[in-house]
Amino acid sequence: MTRFVKAVLLVLGMVVAAAPAAAQSEAKRAITKIAGDLYRFQNNFHYSVFLVTGEGVIVTDPINAEAAAWLKAEISQRFNQPIRYLIYSHDHRDHSAGGEVFAEDGAIVVAHERTKEVIIGEQRPTAVPDLTFNDRMTLTLGGKTVELIYVGPSSSDNTIVMHFPAERALFAVDFITVKRLPFRTLSDSYFPHWMDAIRKVEAIDFDILVPGHGQVGVKADAAEHRAYLEALYDGVLTGLRAGQSVEEMKASITLEAYEDWGQYDKWREENIQGMAANISLHRRGN
């Protein structure tokens, strides 16, 4: 090996070794206003919201410890208010991790009772909730309100929505996205309860739909997402009853009405595969 080739390999090795650290420190983070004093926080492909009041701030999903530390510093610098409450949308680690960053400063951690059970049971790397509820809870701070509503099993068995009545906004994580397919094979999902959960969202009075992934939308996007799930569910159930294999259904269930939605090319086949597995758990053919 020539000295030159050795030098090139050495440089390549350094670039490869440096890549993971560089990717981590380049997380895309941003804060954008939704309405009034309600803001959206982005950490790469994950989003949460926070509400600023004259008596402190209510934050939601911390996402991870590094993201939460960044958000805590930004809130302190921009709004000069303490963080009083942290609310989890559900237990999944990629949304709930890092809660200790807010809890260690005295924020009260709020979640569904079942979210607390799963956080303890799965040993999620986050703060254990202090305050839990089953159906509904209204939090008020500095004259502002957020309503926490359990809508039944959907893309977990403990997902809640957060309704900000004055801002006419609703934060819904994972089980509703705006003009985008649900994530891959629909792991930890409950059908057809998931569609019932969206119907409960459709009965809430709001205008702005703020999902945990992807673009912000309007209330009508919730019903559109339900219609996609219904088409997927009906297509797969019909295929299974006709004796089709998953591979045959991937070819026949085209869902072409949704071909301009985000992740259609990447996730349609996995959606079919996941739905087939889910329906098969609760079906017995002849």
Task: Select 37 or 174, whichever has its Cβ closest to Zn ion.
Answer: 174
Helix 220-241 × helix 264-280 angle, to 10°:
60
| C-alpha span between 134 and 69 (Å, rounded) | 29
The minimum distance between CB 46 and Zn ion, in angstroms, equals 6
Instruction: Provide the CA 229 distance to its chain's centre, in angstroms.
Output: 17
Give dist(CA 52, CA 141) in Å, integer. 9
139-198 binders of Zn ion (CB under 5 A)? 174
Q: Which residue, 27 or 246, has its beta carbon nearer to Zn ion?
A: 27
- Residue closer to Zn ion, measured from CB, 43 or 278: 43
Is residue 100 close enough to count as binding Zn ion by CB under 5 A?
Answer: no
The residue assigned the tokens 């609760």 is: 282
- CB 88 to Zn ion: min, Å: 12
Q: How far apart are CA 275 and CA 187, in angstroms?
A: 9
> Smallest distance, Å, CB 187 to Zn ion?
11
Of 174 and 224, which has the nearer Cβ to Zn ion? 174
Query: At closest approach, how far in Å is the CB of 183 from Zn ion?
Result: 7
Count residues contacting Zn ion (CB under 5 A)?
1
- Cα separation, 286 vs 279, in Å, equals 15
Decide whether 100 or 174 has the Cβ nearer to Zn ion. Answer: 174
Contact yes or no for 213/46 (Cβ under 8 A): yes
To Zn ion, the closest distance from the beta carbon of 95 in angstroms equals 6
- State the alpha helices, DSSP H only, in the chain: 3-25, 65-79, 93-96, 100-103, 113-121, 193-202, 220-241, 246-252, 264-280
Give the nearest residue (CB) to Zn ion: 174
Residues near Zn ion (CB under 5 A) are: 174
